[in-house]
Amino acid sequence: MTTRVLEVVRAGLVPYAEGLAWQRSLAQARIDRQLANDLLLLLEHPPVVTLGRNSRAAHLLSPVGLDVFEIERGGDVTFHGPGQLVGYPILDLTGHKPDLHWYLRTLEEALVTALAEIGIPAGRNPPYTGVWTRGGGRKIASIGIHVKQWVTWHGFALNVTTDLAQFERIVPCGIPGVEMTSVQREMGEGRGERDLWNAALTSVIHGFETAFGVEATVHDEVSRGAAASHPGA
């Protein structure tokens, strides 16, 4: 049996609307079997607030000056912005385990493993979805996904060097009183932002390899949509 391949695309800074259209088209291509492998898009968005299908307007406290998108992922309101590592796994779950709850938990495990690799003890905080620093302390990563015909899109947002003050404009994930944190805040000063970002990117890829049992091949994105031109296997 050969190991499944995960094509990882490091896409850099992508405007939210563009990223949304991109992942939707890739997911459709995966559903239509035009893509041979699972994909993981890793990127960063300019500041934006997104409302999941479970959002309540009251959880958006201060939207002034921010783009707001209402989208098809699970979960409540969240913030994306520079310094936050956003991952959109486009996975065909029939090749793994056709089980949404398994997928959510495995996504969490991938991030916990990644954080362990860079030296941040973290874990789950049942019944909430997402990743918290050890003991359910502070929330470091958010998760919200969408699935159609067992193909996933949307995904996770890991705060690396995110400006945490931005979260004060919302009630993150609709959980009042939740304290958000970032890799930078947990690691303390002393490491450059670029260095933290690269460490987070690398360990997230390792985390996916371990948790999902896949082999990552990493691409630095040249032209968006190029990945979609792979013929089906």
Closest contact distance (angstroms) between CB of 222 and another protein is 27
How many residues interact with another protein (rule CB under 8 A)?
A: 53
Question: Would you count residue 148 as binding another protein (CB under 8 A)?
Answer: yes
Q: Is the distance from CB of 37 to CB of 230 less than 8 angstroms?
A: yes
Residue of 12, 63, 98, 225 interacting with another protein (CB under 8 A): 98
* 89 burial via Cβ count (<10 Å: 0-12, 13-18, 19+): buried
One of 36, 68, 69, 149 touching another protein (CB under 8 A): 149
Q: What is the closest distance, in whole angstroms, from the C-beta atom of residue 164 to another protein in the complex?
A: 20
Residue pair 7/39 in contact (Cβ under 8 Å)? The answer is yes
Q: Is 116 in the site for another protein (CB under 8 A)?
A: yes
Q: For the CA atoms of the chain, what is the radius of gyration?
A: 17
Residue 146: which H helix or E strand, with range?
strand 139-148
> The tokens of 189 are what?
């000063």
Binding mask 167-196 for another protein (x = CB under 8 A): --------------------xxxxx---x-
- Sequence-distant (6+) residues with CB within 8 A of 177 are none
56 sits near another protein (criterion: CB under 8 A): no
> Of these residues, 39, 77, 90, 173, which one is catalytic?
173
Is 173 annotated as catalytic?
yes
Residues 231, 232, 233: CA angle, nearest 5 degrees: 120
Closest distance of CB 81 from another protein, Å: 20
* Measured distance CA(22)–CA(65) in Å, rounded: 25
Q: How far is CA 156 from the centre of its chain?
A: 2
Interacting residue with another protein among 1, 57, 64, 165 (CB under 8 A): 1
Cβ of residue 85: shortest distance to another protein, in angstroms? 18
How far apart CA 45 and CA 186 sit, in angstroms, is 22
In terms of CB distance, is 11 or 154 closer to another protein? 154
The token pair at 181 is 């944190």
List the catalytic residues.
173
Residues that bind another protein (CB under 8 A): 1, 3, 31-33, 52-54, 72-75, 94, 97-104, 109, 112-113, 115-117, 119, 121-124, 129-130, 134, 143-150, 187-191, 195, 206, 209-210, 213
